[in-house]
Amino acid sequence: MQVHLQNITKTFGRVRANQDISLMFESGKIYAVLGENGAGKSTLMKIMSGYQRADSGQVVIDDTPLELRSPTDAIEHGIGMLYQDPLDFPPFTVLENFIAGRPVGFFPEQNEVRQILVELCQRFGFNLDPDTYVDQLTIGERQQLEILRLLSLNVRVLILDEPTTGISAEQKTALFDVLKTLARDGDMSIILVSHKLEDVLELCDEAYVLRRGRLVGQQTIPCPISDLVALMFGKVIERHARPDVEQGKPVLHVTEVSLTSRRLDVEHVSLRVHAGEVIGLAGLDGSGQNEFIRACTGLLHPESGTIQVRGRTMTRASYHDFAQAGVAFLPAGRLEEGLIDGMNLTEHLALTLPSRLPWVNWWRAWTTTRNRIQHFNVKGRPFSPIQTLSGGNQQRFALALLPDKLRVLLLEHPTRGLDVESALYIWDQLLARRSDGTAIIFISAELDEIVAYSDRILVFFGGRATLVDDPALMTAGHLGELIGGRGIGALTGALAVQPETPS
């Protein structure tokens, strides 16, 4: 089976997302589609999977042109896509989501479909309970469910958009093993849309590279990583050195905080954070770090313990109270929680402007938005709908909406789904705030990122947290063992018994 994309062009207003792109994919191989944020790779794959329609060009399978009006049309022709944000139904069970979209409708013989699901789980080593609700699954488990659903629909071309974002190293290894098996034994074409070059070199046979909506190169794997970087950006990207910053007085003090959620209990977490300090929160998805960071913003209230901001007790305070105290939060779900789908950039900025008047000063909002777009190098216009921006530009604009002066900035996965250049830009902005005295607390699934940028690391495992005071002695490999539970007991004995020095 061969799939050709022939002369694909797609525009959004004045923006040419894809310009006359032609690619070919063969069965039995794993391909990468690379490019910086906004290069057009996700748009191209959405056209191939029927989610969007091209302005011109066509998708051809074995010399037969296809008319793809929807993802259902694509699946009927054997093309399925796993999106970066899974298109599932969280209030429904695993089995109900597995059934959804099948030709037999939504109410087939459930025992028969249940058996198909169980057999697929056994085949690929997935541990999915058919009766568990999807909103209780990790990101990695939701990906597994969607892969099984697509396989049950007999797709021959499987497209995965940033599949390793937000999953653990162990989950990534399991995913890659499955993809290699499908390509080798299932005679499928696997297409990986990614910015993570290490993943590409580990998994793929060929790489297509897009830049500014055009195909700029094709590379056989293995190859030097610098070759891929040069194709993606036209230059070699280097990480800037992290400047030393003198830490100030404590701005956030968490003492013996315990939380209860549907998935786990977070028990007796303590942390003192100083002005100008960066704290990385490491842990497998569902280990308690998300509950902890949301308690520090007023979105969750502890069962016990205390939270203080600059000496003021705020244990039961609201999110608004924390914001008034100089605490800001950027969640992982940019369009789900951080930004508002359907609103343009100026409308977003207007929501942040202080005003005692009953109306919006739109001229002020527009000029401020224009200035922020220039300052943060956002590729968009004041009246661009936020959902039309790439992930990197959405994150840049989210930072642009924050107040200039903050005591504490908390972030979930600040560079998730971003290319190298965009990720470095985000960290340049965060470190600039650190130099101004803002304390940074962030969650990341990228262990290299945690080790590189953290002054201290709080490791979560099973709802408990242990502090690593000197990340310079820590490698990403060692940190990976700790978040998986290996060596956490020894670390707890060596470090947790040492009280923090009062300031």
pLDDT in tens, 102-145: 665 555 577 888 999 999 888 888 889 999 998 888 777 888 89
Q: Is residue 110, in this structure, part of any structural domain at all? A: yes
pLDDT tens for 372-402 read 999 888 888 999 999 888 877 888 899 999 9
- Do residues 375 and 423 both lie within one domain? no
Write down the residue that tokens 């169980």 correspond to.
118
Long-range contacts of 380-383 (CB under 8 A, 24+ apart): 380/345, 381/345, 382/344, 382/345, 382/346, 383/344, 383/345, 383/346
Report, in this order, helix, strand and coil percent for the chain, each rounded to 5: 35, 25, 40
- With beta carbons less than 8 A apart as the criterion, state whether 42 and 18 touch: no
Q: Is residue 336, in this structure, part of any structural domain at all? A: no
Q: Is residue 238, in this structure, part of any structural domain at all? A: no
Phi, psi angles (nearest 5°) of residue 6: -115, 110
Q: Is residue 334, in this structure, part of any structural domain at all? A: no
Q: What is residue 227's predicted lDDT score, i.e. its pLDDT?
A: 85
Q: Is residue 207, in this structure, part of any structural domain at all? A: yes
- With beta carbons less than 8 A apart as the criterion, state whether 221 and 434 touch: no
Q: Which residues of the chain have pLDDT under 50?
A: 490, 493-503
Residue 69: how many CB atoms within 10 A of its CB? 10
Where does a domain end: 182, 198, 233? 233
Q: What is residue 488's predicted lDDT score, i.e. its pLDDT?
A: 55
- Do residues 14 and 110 both lie within one domain? yes
Q: What is residue 107's predicted lDDT score, i.e. its pLDDT?
A: 53
Q: What is residue 498's predicted lDDT score, i.e. its pLDDT?
A: 40
- Do residues 195 and 102 both lie within one domain? yes
Q: Is residue 464, in this structure, part of any structural domain at all? A: yes
Q: What is residue 490's predicted lDDT score, i.e. its pLDDT?
A: 47
pTM for this entry: 0.65
- Do residues 286 and 369 both lie within one domain? no
- Give the CA distances from residue 346 to residues 38, 297, 330, 432, in Å, rounded to whole numbers and listed in that order: 21, 26, 19, 25
Q: Is residue 16, in this structure, part of any structural domain at all? A: yes
Q: CA-to-CA distance for 346 and 367, rounded, in angstroms? A: 9
Domain range holding 391? 343-402
Q: CA-to-CA distance for 86 and 348, rounded, in angstroms? A: 25
- Structurally, how many domains does the chain consist of? 3
- With beta carbons less than 8 A apart as the criterion, state whether 400 and 374 touch: no
Write down the residue that tokens 């499955």 correspond to.
178
- Do residues 159 and 207 both lie within one domain? yes
- Do residues 95 and 226 both lie within one domain? yes
AA identity, residue 193: V
Give me 124's structure tokens.
């690929």
Contacting residues for 57 by C-beta, under 8 A, at least 6 apart: 5, 6, 7, 8, 9, 20, 21, 22
For the domain that residue 315 is a member of, what is the CATH number?
3.40.50.300
Phi, psi angles (nearest 5°) of residue 412: -100, 120
Q: CA-to-CA distance for 199 and 192, rounded, in angstroms? A: 9
Contacting residues for 173 by C-beta, under 8 A, at least 6 apart: none
Q: Is residue 243, in this structure, part of any structural domain at all? A: no
- Do residues 156 and 292 both lie within one domain? no
